[in-house]
Homo-oligomer: A and B are copies of this chain.
Amino acid sequence: MKAAARHLRIRELLESQEFVDQDVLCAELRASESSVRRDLITLESEGVLKRVYGGAMAMQPRDTALDFDWQSGRMAAEKRRIAALAATLVEDNQTVLLDGGSTVAAVATALLGRSLHVMTNSLAIAEVFRDARQIDVTLTGGYVYPRLRALLGPLCEQMISSITADVLIMGIGGITAEGFSNSNTLVVGPERKMIEAAHKVIVVADHTKFGRAAVTHLASLDVADVVVSDAELPQEHQALLRQHGIQLLLA
């Protein structure tokens, strides 16, 4: 197995386990102890994991980006402004698909008090609407992924395939000319289904997400109808989106 493939697989393993054993990695990756060790050194320098005696630990025990901390992050103010703007694009009584991104969680709070039908695969977002009596919430089923507090897997995708929504609001890990990408391999499956299920696709992403590709390619730029970002977004990226006929809104 090639180095890049190994790195990907290690990241993937660390998404479902907090600790991976050296021996297990050697077997799983069909690579020598030395190679695995080098991989771990590389990934540690990238901040993906922390090396410990006999293996490696996942860097964040729970994915902070997608957990409840989203309110206190560094980009909190930007996110709130983006979220508020994105929320205005939703009309009352629409059916809204929300994915599990942290910016999307901010959109969810901005939607509180509206009259809507919300569908999501994120337990954290369902939690946001817990006391919102005006909002009907439907959860997709699926495997509960503890670190992301999201529902994933074939059952989830199958469920999303069987429904239709007026609008999808989706967070994203990276945006380049090649398209949208996400940092977590597992979430792209449901997200692709969500894109298919929604009449209108709104992507929310602060300017730091532009020009960089996250691990997993999600979809080409064409799938988005609207992108909501902040005013610091460089002109070149603005132009890129407009070339693809995407409506761009800056908070």
Contacts and interface: CB of A to CB of B under 8 A. Distances in A.
Q: Looking at A8, A139, A163, which has the most chain B CB atoms within 10 Å of its CB?
A: A139
B3 A8 contact: no
Count the copies.
2
Interface in A117-174: 123, 126, 129-131, 133, 136-144, 146, 151, 153, 155-156, 158-159, 162-163
Contacts of A159: 141, 155, 159
A57 to B, nearest CB: 6
> Interface centre among A18, A21, A53, A163, by most B CB within 10 Å?
A18
Contacts of A179: none
B144 A126 contact: yes
A133 B54 CA distance: 20
Contacts of A21: 2, 5
A210 interface: no
A57 B4 contact: yes
A191 to B, nearest CB: 16
B131 A146 contact: yes
A180 interface: no
Interface residues of A, number: 38
Nearest to A17: B133
A139 to B, nearest CB: 5
B141 A141 contact: yes
Contact of A53 (B2, B158, B163): B2
A52 interface: yes
Nearest to A56: B4
Given A4-B52, A21-B2, A52-B3, A142 B138 contact: yes
A31 B91 CA distance: 36
Closest CB pairs A-B (n = 3): A141-B141, A2-B54, A137-B144
Given A130-B146, A155-B159, 15 more contacts: A2-B19, A2-B22, A2-B55, A4-B57, A5-B19, A123-B123, A123-B126, A126-B144, A138-B141, A138-B143, A138-B153, A141-B141, A141-B151, A141-B159, A158-B162
